[in-house]
Amino acid sequence: MQARVAYFSMEMALAVGMKTYSGGLGVLAGDTVRGFADYELSGIGVTLLHRRGYFRQSIDENGWQQEQPDDWEPAKYAEKLPETVAITIEGRTVTIAVWRRSVEGLNGHAVPVYMLDTRLDANSEYDRTLTDYLYGGDRYYRLCQEMVLGIGGVKILRALGYTDISRFHMNEGHSAFLTLELLDEAAENAGRKQFSREDVEAIRQKCVFTTHTPVAAGHDRFPLDMAMRALQRKELRDMQDVFCCDNELNMTYLALNLSDRVNGVAKRHGEISREMFPNYEIDSITNGVHVATWTAEPFAKLFDKHVPEWRKDNFSLRYALRIPCDAVREAHQQSKQALMDYVNKTAKADFDVDTFTLGFARRATPYKRADLLMRDVQRLNALAERHGPMQIIYAGKAHPNDQQGKEYIQRVIQSAKKLSDQIQLVYLPDYAWELGGLITSGVDVWLNTPLPPNEASGTSGMKAALNGVPSLSVLDGWWLEGCIENETGWAIGRRYDQIENPDVPAEQDADSLYEKLDEVVLPLYYENYDGFLDVMINAIALNGSFFTAQRMLLEYMSMVYFR
Ligand SMILES: *Cc1c(COP(=O)(O)O)cnc(C)c1O
């Protein structure tokens, strides 16, 4: 069956030099489209061009984040097409142009990704900026962007001749306005001026939704008056139950109400979502990463030799158990050396390949608790004294408006001054795709310390596993599924869903983290490296083989797209 899936996402990581993403959501979207291409699905990606990117991060001498625009040249990466469409925002006509980039799969199958662009002479000065900044501007700017993505996206697909789309997949609620355009189409086809409840039923059969946010405050909402002004659709008020709640237009509810299938991004996130939205049927499909993209060169070579079919059949990575330990050790040392070279060059540090190295890189925002490891620096110093030296690598951007996130970065950097000479710490600026690949493959242990249940899934620990890097992580998101203690890595604290008071103080998690390092991880690394290698190999065989975009897409195909 040649069913066509249109995959809409506000951000999408398509190439290292394309600044069309900010973090996890965009990387997942890119990995999904790369998976479409490998499977030769007749999928299509839709996103915005984001000419000025998210932002470039530098860190000043006080440890404070500085932001610069991250311009890039679309013409180097994509082709501008002649088609344009127009949408109406608050009575203004906004013309939208489109760029195409093809994403190629293993056998050369190309999946087109369409990127919308309002920087046109026909538009007002303001409307020209609508596709400039990812997650920039105020609420109104964001509302306009989401109209361009959802409404403009569907119109562009039609203008390009796609009339056979069987599933519209909303990756997070940002693109949920696509449902309004589909409703308008349905009404028009029936010769009516306004859409009806029957149209809602019909459109629902075509739409599927993946939610990514496990806390209510994180859902995208607009004041109803603002949304009514911009959208000018009377039906929004007439069908309040479908579109509104509490004087707000909530993009998550819009997507929930107009989707046939709804999924969270890990099993635990599915449970949390069902608690948050008890009136909806919500399932889950656990995220995965695109294996060929996130496997570092030394491991790619190793797998080519010992598991030659690994790119085509990611499950075969379970045969990592057959690879000689020495070869795995050698591949890891090479990946680690590449990271050490980068650190020593850019941070003027003196890191070496034989010292135990911890990595922590993710969006700097309070719930990720970047400072957990640094809560008790004396204790950390004592660990190094007892077991051997340590190297710690941090990276991650805070959203420009996230003052607290910036304070976390500063706190980590300043607490490093109290470290003994047995521990070196660097905070690498401007975390993005390439650095993500270097860090997830080049450290010895991947650290993750979110405050449950905020980590919907998390994907960097999956990238690490592919490269034989075990995780040491709080049991939240994907790690509840991926952690087999002492086999694929180690847990910090207890299972969130098995403790009575979920508000575990950070002290307790920090305590558990130091204890694991002291009693298990550091002794294994420094006194029994063969034992450590076993964990590395299991991480590949059990988790690298499973938490893949390929497995994720198999589930989407059988349970969501083609059912
Ligand atoms: C993988 C990746 C992420 C996602 O990380 P999480 O573990 O989901 O927090 C974010 N940014 C970059 C650059 C990545 O490569």
Whole-number Å distance, alpha carbon 459 to ligand 1 midpoint, is: 6
Confidence of residue 373 (pLDDT cuts 50, 70, 90): very high
Q: How confident is the model at residue 499, as a pLDDT? A: 54
- Domain range 291-547, CATH architecture: 3-Layer(aba) Sandwich (3.40)
Whole-number Å distance, alpha carbon 368 to ligand 1 midpoint, is: 12
Confidence of residue 214 (pLDDT cuts 50, 70, 90): confident
Whole-number Å distance, alpha carbon 463 to ligand 1 midpoint, is: 9
Confidence of residue 501 (pLDDT cuts 50, 70, 90): low
- Which 8-state DSSP code applies to residue 287? -
Determine the Cα–Cα distance for residues 83 and 161; give it in Å rounded to an integer: 11
Determine the Cα–Cα distance for residues 225 and 36; give it in Å rounded to an integer: 39
Residues near 114 by beta carbon (within 8 Å), at least 6 away in sequence = 44, 45, 46, 47, 98, 99, 100, 153, 156, 157, 160
**Cβ atoms of 29 and 13 closer than 8 Å:** yes
Whole-number Å distance, alpha carbon 546 to ligand 1 midpoint, is: 18
Q: Average model confidence (pLDDT) for the chain?
A: 95
β-pair partners for 263: 210, 283
State the closest ligand 1 atom to the C-alpha of 24, by its place in the atom list counted from 1: 4
Instruction: Report helix, strand or coil for 257.
Output: helix
HEC string for 18-39: CCCCCCHHHHHHHHHHHHHHHC
Query: How much of the chain is helix, strand and coil, in % rounded to 5?
Result: 45, 20, 35
What distances in angstroms separate CA 503 from CA 21, 451, 481, 506, 509, one per listed residue?
Answer: 32, 9, 21, 9, 11
Question: At residue 240, does pLDDT exceed 90?
Answer: no
Determine the Cα–Cα distance for residues 214 and 216; give it in Å rounded to an integer: 7
Question: At residue 517, does pLDDT exceed 60?
Answer: yes
Q: Kindly report the number of other CB atoms within 10 A of residue 189's CB atom.
A: 10
Q: Write the pLDDT tens digit of every residue in 37-48.
A: 999 999 999 999
Residue minimizing CA distance to atom 3 of ligand 1: 24
Where along the chain do its domains lie? 5-288+552-561, 291-547
Determine the Cα–Cα distance for residues 361 and 369; give it in Å rounded to an integer: 11
Whole-number Å distance, alpha carbon 370 to ligand 1 midpoint, is: 14
State the closest ligand 1 atom to the C-alpha of 368, by its place in the atom list counted from 1: 9
Question: At residue 555, does pLDDT exceed 90?
Answer: yes
Residue minimizing CA distance to atom 1 of ligand 1: 460
- Concatenating the DSSP letter of every residue in 357-368 gives EEEEES---GGG
Q: How confident is the model at residue 500, as a pLDDT? A: 54
Confidence of residue 494 (pLDDT cuts 50, 70, 90): confident
State the closest ligand 1 atom to the C-alpha of 460, by its place in the atom list counted from 1: 7
Residue minimizing CA distance to atom 11 of ligand 1: 23
Whole-number Å distance, alpha carbon 179 to ligand 1 midpoint, is: 29
Q: Write the pLDDT tens digit of every residue in 65-109.
A: 999 999 999 999 999 999 999 999 999 999 999 999 999 999 999
Q: How confident is the model at residue 238, as a pLDDT? A: 83
Q: How confident is the model at residue 381, as a pLDDT? A: 98
Residue minimizing CA distance to atom 8 of ligand 1: 458
Q: Kindly report the number of other CB atoms within 10 A of residue 128's CB atom.
A: 18
Whole-number Å distance, alpha carbon 22 to ligand 1 midpoint, is: 9
Q: Residue 224: which H helix or E strand, with range?
A: helix 224-231
Confidence of residue 495 (pLDDT cuts 50, 70, 90): low
Confidence of residue 244 (pLDDT cuts 50, 70, 90): confident
Q: Write the pLDDT tens digit of every residue in 271-280.
A: 999 999 999 9
State which of 367, 460, 472 you would mutate to test the pocket of ligand 1, scoring each by most atoms of that ligand within 8 A of its C-beta: 460
In percent, how much of the chain has pLDDT > 90?
A: 90
Q: Write the pLDDT tens digit of every residue in 163-175.
A: 999 999 999 999 9
Residue minimizing CA distance to atom 14 of ligand 1: 436
State which of 265, 362, 367, 474 you would mutate to test the pocket of ligand 1, scoring each by most atoms of that ligand within 8 A of its C-beta: 362
Q: Which residue has the higher pLDDT, 390 or 240?
A: 390
pTM above 0.95, yes or no: yes
Residue with tokens 């497995």: 551
State the closest ligand 1 atom to the C-alpha of 435, by its place in the atom list counted from 1: 13
Whole-number Å distance, alpha carbon 409 to ligand 1 midpoint, is: 17
State which of 459, 479, 548 you would mutate to test the pocket of ligand 1, scoring each by most atoms of that ligand within 8 A of its C-beta: 459
Determine the Cα–Cα distance for residues 551 and 537; give it in Å rounded to an integer: 20
Determine the Cα–Cα distance for residues 522 and 445; give it in Å rounded to an integer: 10
Confidence of residue 134 (pLDDT cuts 50, 70, 90): very high
Question: At residue 262, does pLDDT exceed 90?
Answer: yes
What distances in angstroms separate CA 238 from CA 232, 253, 315, 531, one per listed residue?
Answer: 12, 16, 50, 65
**Cβ atoms of 324 and 311 closer than 8 Å:** no
Determine the Cα–Cα distance for residues 436 and 204; give it in Å rounded to an integer: 37
Dihedral-angle region of residue 137 (phi above 0 means left; psi in -120 to 50 means alpha; beta otherwise): left
What distances in angstroms separate CA 162 from CA 39, 81, 88, 156, 524, one per listed residue?
Answer: 20, 15, 22, 9, 56
Q: Write the pLDDT tens digit of every residue in 3-36.
A: 799 999 999 999 999 999 999 999 999 999 999 9
Q: How confident is the model at residue 215, as a pLDDT? A: 83
State the closest ligand 1 atom to the C-alpha of 431, by its place in the atom list counted from 1: 13
Q: Is the dihedral of CA 309, 312, 317, 319 positive or negative?
A: negative
Is cis: bond before 453, omega within 30 of 0?
yes
Q: How confident is the model at residue 504, as a pLDDT? A: 59
Residue minimizing CA distance to atom 13 of ligand 1: 432
Whole-number Å distance, alpha carbon 498 to ligand 1 midpoint, is: 27
In percent, how much of the chain has pLDDT > 70?
A: 98
Q: How confident is the model at residue 233, as a pLDDT? A: 87
Q: How confident is the model at residue 237, as a pLDDT? A: 81
Whole-number Å distance, alpha carbon 435 to ligand 1 midpoint, is: 10
Residue minimizing CA distance to atom 4 of ligand 1: 24
Confidence of residue 431 (pLDDT cuts 50, 70, 90): very high
**Smallest Cα–Cα separation from 150: which of 180, 127, 120?**
180
Burial class of residue 107, CB neighbours in 10 A (0-12, 13-18, 19+): exposed
**Cβ atoms of 440 and 352 closer than 8 Å:** no
**Which residues of 313-375 form beta strands (DSSP E)?**
356-361
Whole-number Å distance, alpha carbon 519 to ligand 1 midpoint, is: 29
Question: At residue 525, does pLDDT exceed 90?
Answer: yes
Q: Residue 111: which H helix or E strand, with range?
A: strand 110-117
Kindly state the average pLDDT of the residues 362-385: 94
Question: At residue 496, does pLDDT exceed 80?
Answer: no
Whole-number Å distance, alpha carbon 151 to ligand 1 midpoint, is: 28
**Smallest Cα–Cα separation from 144: which of 184, 114, 116?**
116
Q: Is the dihedral of CA 323, 325, 329, 330 positive or negative?
A: negative
CB-based pocket (< 6 A), ligand 1? 23-24, 27, 362, 431-433, 436, 458-460, 463
Residue minimizing CA distance to atom 12 of ligand 1: 23
Whole-number Å distance, alpha carbon 436 to ligand 1 midpoint, is: 7
Topology classification of domain 5-288+552-561: Rossmann fold (3.40.50)
- Which 8-state DSSP code applies to residue 70? -
Q: Write the pLDDT tens digit of every residue in 299-323.
A: 999 999 999 999 999 999 999 999 9
What distances in angstroms separate CA 261 from CA 154, 310, 330, one per listed residue?
Answer: 19, 31, 45
Same-fold call for 5-288+552-561 versus 291-547: yes
Q: Write the pLDDT tens digit of every residue in 319-371.
A: 999 999 999 999 999 999 999 999 999 999 999 999 999 999 999 998 899 99
Report residue 464 as tokens.
């690490």
Determine the Cα–Cα distance for residues 525 and 528; give it in Å rounded to an integer: 6
Q: How confident is the model at residue 409, as a pLDDT? A: 97
What distances in angstroms separate CA 329 from CA 309, 336, 337, 395, one per listed residue?
Answer: 21, 10, 12, 25
